[in-house]
Amino acid sequence: HERALIRSFEIGLARGDSSQAAERLAELPPGRLSSVEGSLLAARIHLTRGNQMLAERVVEEVAARHPNNCSVLATRLDIATAL
């Protein structure tokens, strides 16, 4: 189920609809996007909306669970270069 939800978010972001993605993300119950992929998607949505602090917090939470995950490391780099 989470994979389908992630895909629907990705489609919206690809269309440039970050506002709707952020609204949908805010409506999800806590932990709904709990996988590495889901957490990084949430971080990307926050970053797209200009909320770097929240994006960093989400990435740090997932990094604590998966410190050597390549996707986590790449997202950290994306956030660092977004400054």
Please give the span between the terminal C-alpha atoms of the chain, in angstroms, as a whole number: 34
Residue 16 has pLDDT above 70, yes or no: yes
Give per-residue pLDDT as tens, 20-31: 999 999 999 988
Return the exposure string of 4-39: e unless at least 16 CB atoms fall within 10 Å of the residue's CB, then b.
eebeebeebbeeeebeebbeebeeeeeeebeebbbb
pTM over 0.75: yes
Percent residues over pLDDT 70 in the chain: 99
For the segment 60-66, the average pLDDT, to the nearest whole number, is 95
What is residue 12's predicted lDDT score, i.e. its pLDDT?
A: 93
For the segment 73-81, the average pLDDT, to the nearest whole number, is 89
